[in-house]
Each structure stands twice: as C-alpha cells, then as structure tokens.
Structure 1
Amino acid sequence: MNNHYHKREQTKTRNGFSSSAQLLKIKEMFPNIEVVKEKGNSFEIKFKIQPTTLSQFYDVKLTYDKFTGVKVYVLSENLAIAKNRTKLPHVYSSKDQRLCLYSPSKNEWTKEKFIVSTIIPWISKWFFFYEIWLIDGEWLGGGHNEYEVK
C-alpha cells in the first residue's frame, strides 16, 4: 500500500466515528433501542440488557457525545448493595448509578472504536460481575476500586 492511503486512513481513525455512524451500528445490532435524543455530535438511547439468561433485565441509558465520550446509567431500579459493603462497586456515582466501564487514561475506549462492539458488551459484563459481587462483596471485574480482588 502507498503512503497516501495510510495517511488518509490515519486521519479517519484520529477523527473517530461520527455520532450518526455510532448510532447506526448500534441500531443494526439492537433494532429495538429507544432513541431518546439525536442531535449533531451526540445522542441518548435507552435499552434493556440481560447479562445472562438467568439474570434480570436492566434498563440502561447511554449518552454519547463525540467530544466528551460515553456515559452509562442504570435506570431500572436502585441497585442493591452487597451486605458487607456501603456503596456500589466500580461506578462514577452511586447516587446517579453511572457505571465505570473503562479507564479513559488507558485508552481502553476511544472515539475510534464502535460503542456496539465495546461499551455495550462491557455493560453486560459489568452487570455479570455486579450480580456475583452481591453474593460476597468481592468485585471480580477488575478495575480500580476498593472492592477489587487483589
């Protein structure tokens, strides 16, 4: 491949995917999502997610802004706290139930990655580890909080 091709591809990657491209990919995989808002470089969607066939469904809100990133909130209920703990594990806010799914400083998710193949599976994985955490208060999902197993 010539250098001109690589430069064009790098520019595309550096700019990331547009909000509409992100939303289109999500709709392809999840046609039943509710698009609450779609404007310019941002959107807000709501959907149900079930981490395993034995799990309950959780109502989730995902907001995306091309410049500030992704935020994910649990809407369906106030999530329970493990008996030996005082707050939710791996969240930005227990009150808002805003999930912590990746570390921005480690570039685990960037605007060059599709939400549908990263963030949405990570939401399901978060709930999977949350349900295990409820049993004994040990967070097995990795990350950076005091409930993490060392």
Structure 2
Amino acid sequence: MSSKFFKANSKRKLKGIPSTEQLKRIRTEFPEIKVLKSGWDNFEIVVQIRPTAISELYDVKIIYTENKWVKIFVISKTLELAKNRTKLPHVYDSQKQQLCLYSPSKKEWNAHNYIIDTIIPWVSEWLYYYELWLPEGKWLGGGHNEYPNEDNTETLVNEE
C-alpha cells in the first residue's frame, strides 16, 4: 500500500529482535521462568542458573528494554567476596550485584542478538568464574583489568 501519506518502505529494517520474540525464545529453554513484568517493548524475568553440576542454583533477574539494553542482577543471595577483595569482580555495582558481561563500547552485544544465545550463557560463565574467584580472589574470566596492581599486593589498595 502506498500513498502520499504512507509510503511502503522495503528497505526499512527492524531495530532489533522484538521483546516478545526474545521472551518466547527464553521460555523454550527455561519454561519455569518467572515473569515479573512484560510490556510490548520490555520485560523483567527471573531465571534460575546453575553454572556446573556441583554449583549452587542462582536466581538471576534479567531486565530487557527493546533496542536499548539488558541489565543482569543476581538476586537469590548476597554474593560473597574473596578474602583479599573488597568488591565483586566485573560488576557495575557490587551492592546491587549487577553483572558486567560485555563491553557496550566494543559492541559485543546488540539488540539483534538473542538473549538466550548470548546473555544467559554469559551469565552462566560469569557465575562459573565467580566460583573459581572466591578461594583466592584471582579473576580468570578475562575482560578488562579489574585489579591493576595484582602483581604488587595481596589486597588491593585502591580497589574501590
């Protein structure tokens, strides 16, 4: 249909995967998810993730706003700190336990990626490396240099 008021545009591209489609795909793998909020362009859900067979089960809140961002929080428990650390590794906020899973500036994730194929596996991987980090406070999960003077001291002076 085309008129002077409405022009059909075959070149028009979706800005990303619709939130309804994201949620549908997550439900195929996690049918027991808790949906806290669901709108036409956003959702908040809680997914239970166990990174390994001997790991604890973690409740993880995923907040998605279509074409904008995904925020991830561990909500089931207060994550412990390694003995020689004063904050959690690779988080945006230690108190809120908001995980840092990718670098937005490096465009490692965008709204054209399915959360079930990227974010959720990354959460599991983050939790796996967190469990390895606990005994000695060494982050083995890669990413940016969380502890710049790692070689100089056991406890970080300017970690905050």
Instruction: Give TM-score scaled by structure 1 length.
Output: 0.88
CA shift, 1:127, in A, is 0.3
List per-residue Cα deviations over 1:46-69 (Å, max 9, x = no partner).
121100001000111000001431
CA distance in 1, matches of 2:68, 2:113: 14
Give the alignment of 1:58-137 within 5 angstroms.
Answer: 58-137=58-137
Stretches of structure 1 lacking an aligned partner (at least 5 in a row): 1-6
8 A contact 2:51–2:124 mirrored in 1: yes
Partner residue of 2:28?
A: 28
CA distance in 2, matches of 1:146, 1:30: 32
CA distance in 2, matches of 1:132, 1:28: 30
CA shift, 1:40, in A, is 1.8
CA distance in 2, matches of 1:145, 1:129: 15
8 A contact 2:16–2:67 mirrored in 1: no
Structure 1 residues 117-126 or 134-143, which shifts more? 134-143
List per-residue Cα deviations over 1:9-34 (Å, max 9, x = no partner).
x824xx11001011011011111111
Partner residue of 2:6?
A: none
Q: Which amino acid aligns with 1:96?
A: K
Q: Structure 1 residue runs of 4+, over 6 Å off?
A: none
Q: Which amino acid aligns with 1:66?
A: E
8 A contact 1:137–1:147 mirrored in 2: no
CA shift, 1:72, in A, is 0.4
Give the alignment of 1:45-56 within 5 angstroms.
Answer: 45-56=45-56
Q: Percent identity?
A: 51
Partner residue of 2:13?
A: 11
> Which has a greater percent of helix?
1
Instruction: Give TM-score scaled by structure 2 length.
Output: 0.83
Residue aligned with 2:141, SS: coil
Structural RMSD (CA): 1.8
CA shift, 1:103, in A, is 0.5
Q: Which amino acid aligns with 2:87?
A: K
CA shift, 1:146, in A, is 2.2
CA distance in 2, matches of 1:52, 1:116: 18
Which structure: larger Rg? 2
